[in-house]
Amino acid sequence: MAESKTEQIKELSRYLRGTIAETLHSDASHFGEEEIQLLKFHGTYQQDDRDTRGELRKAGLDKAWSFMVRTKIPGGHLAAADYLKLDQIATDLSNQTIRITTRQNFQYHLVLKGGLRECIARITQSGITTVGACGDIVRNVMASPSPLHTPAHGDAQKLADELTQALFPQTRAYAEIWLNGGKLYPPPAAENEPLYGQHYLPRKFKIGVIVPPRNDVDIYTHDIGYVAHAPNGQVEGYTILVGGGFGMTHGKLKTYPVLAKPLFYVAREHAVAAGVAIVTVQRDYGNREDRSRARMKYLIEERGLAWFRQEVEARLPAPTEPPKPLQLTTVADMLGWHEQGDGKLFCGVFVPQGRIQDTGAGRYRSAFREIARQLGCPIRLTPNCNILFCNFRPDQRQTMDQMLKQYGVPSDEGMTEARKTSHACVALPTCGLALAESERVFGPVMDEIDQILRALQLEKEPILIRMAGCPNGCSRPYNADISFVGRAPGKYALFVGGSMTGDRLVGLEKKVVELKDIPAVVKTYLEEFVARREDGEIFSAYWGRTHQPGLRPEPEQFHFELAERSARLAATSQDGPLE
């Protein structure tokens, strides 16, 4: 088979230049299809306001074109001064909001073409970059965000930085187009892209680092997952997982979500080299003919883990060992106040769907801006799209609490546990792939689910609920306890059976659920849980005991409606469930 059209675009792009600069400085209202593919590597997606499409079409007008611009922030760590610069960009060039992503990044939405170059340039001048935030390249390297003062947590952040530098593209196109040839860190060296070549990778590539037992990076969802091994405090090495990925397409059985698998263990000094070796195997053998099968998860599924390990080890000038045992407890963030272990405190703040904005209910953006200005605390973005403010002295705690209260930012203490871990992707009106609403409807949906949880006395139960506007899975719905994935306007596929620890895939329960019916549908599962749970059993454990067929559902279970359960409970008596 011939290589895909996207591969041809990359090959002819002159290392990601294409005709971006020409169109950027022209009067054209938007970029062409080939340029769109290249813009992703620079950290931006061309979009349009889908809410206005119909009206504009009737009036014979062009679409309301705009851009989403995504930063690249390894480990999600930011200085307060950098945060303030990024916040000002939202005021000047975006839609007055900042969106935390599931990869510990920031996104700006509704950036107009006339301000696109300034937006990217100012992000870079703030000390951040957008290079590789999108595109067929190693995306932002994630790391456990908890600022605990331990060698392992410090090394997780350090490793994220090291991997970022080792896997950074070398093209000068970014500086030429967006910075007028200015200096970019790391500085571009060879124009021939010694690591990536002119075709870069077959598809996007994701890496994360965790410190067990907390799985706050959702480590099984990555192409490469690093799990710290620090039996005596200091990190001795990392167990490496490979082949995770959640993107799929409804009805196409050849696409499906996969959890990463243990590959091997390497000593700390070889951790970066192992990552480079794995990336190059995917570079050389990944599918460049069919983009729907181009992720590394399919390469491993097709060739086998033993073959993949052999290929990696042939490129790694270091010994490997069998993976270390892995035990995880939760994918949740550390919200509220916690001691860092160095005499200082950090405060985790829940951000609904990661959208930092000022609304009547809560002025999150104003609050965070003033916290950064007045208290100067470093910031960590979390993969659950929340924010951690770090390095508080104990005497600053009251000031922080007062500032949050002043701006109407609620404490997590009154939230259900399900709300604290819940999340939805952006979807409409800007995402071009969205089939249904997600972020804009998820809050009201969770309000109703919260009422049900409280009525069933489940407000303290850890239940992982996620929503996505399409099957690409940006909100990581395929390892949640309960998730809804958009199929069409107002219609969602219902998946159940992941876990709070992130190490189990869901199965398809209902092919179509109407948006208005979601709370009632969730209620039936929660009522069944209450009726059949054993003492102390959380929802994840209950489902694994009573329903889950295994850790690796067949592809059909993600695409076709499962048969109705023959033994669904119809009622509950005081003596227990009626079988």
Catalytic residue positions, numbered: 70, 139, 204, 206, 425, 431, 470, 474
Counting beta carbons within 10 angstroms of the beta carbon of residue 412, is it exposed (0 to 12), middle (13 to 18) or buried (19 or more)? middle
The tokens describing 318, both together, are 């270091």
Contacts 24+ apart (CB under 8 A), 320-323: 320/264, 320/265, 320/266, 320/274, 321/237, 321/264, 321/265, 321/266, 322/264, 322/265, 323/239, 323/240, 323/241, 323/262, 323/263, 323/264, 323/265
| Helix 271-285 × helix 151-166 angle, to 10° | 40
Question: How far is residue 160's CA from residue 140's CA, in Å, rounded to a whole number?
Answer: 9
What separation, in Å, do the N-terminal and C-terminal C-alpha atoms of the chain show?
55
d(CA 206, CA 102): 12
Residue at 114: amino acid letter: G
Tokens for 12, please give them: 């002819």
Is 189 exposed, middle or buried, given 0-12, 13-18 or 19+ CB atoms closer than 10 A?
A: exposed
HSE-up (13 A, CA, CB side) for residue 110? 16
- Give me the residue label for tokens 């139960």: 461
Specify the pairing of strand 465-468 against strand 423-424: parallel
Yes or no: say if 300 and 352 are a contact pair by the CB < 8 Å rule: no
Sheet containing strand 237-242, edge to edge, reads 142-143, 207-210, 224-229, 237-242, 261-267
State whether residue 7 is helix, strand or coil. Answer: helix
DSSP state string for 212-231: TTB-TT-GGGSSEEEEEE-T
Q: How far apart are CA 297 and CA 470, in angstroms?
A: 20
Query: In the 3-class helix/strand/coil scheme, how is 230-261 assigned residue by residue?
Result: CCECECCEEEEEECCECCCCCCCCCCCCECCE
**Region for 473 from its dihedrals, namely left if φ exceeds 0, alpha if ψ lies in -120 to 50, beta otherwise:** left
Pairing of strands 224-229, 207-210: parallel
Could you tell me which of 430, 422, 404 has the C-alpha nearest to residue 354?
422
Spatial CB neighbours of 575, under 8 Å, sequence gap ≥ 6: none
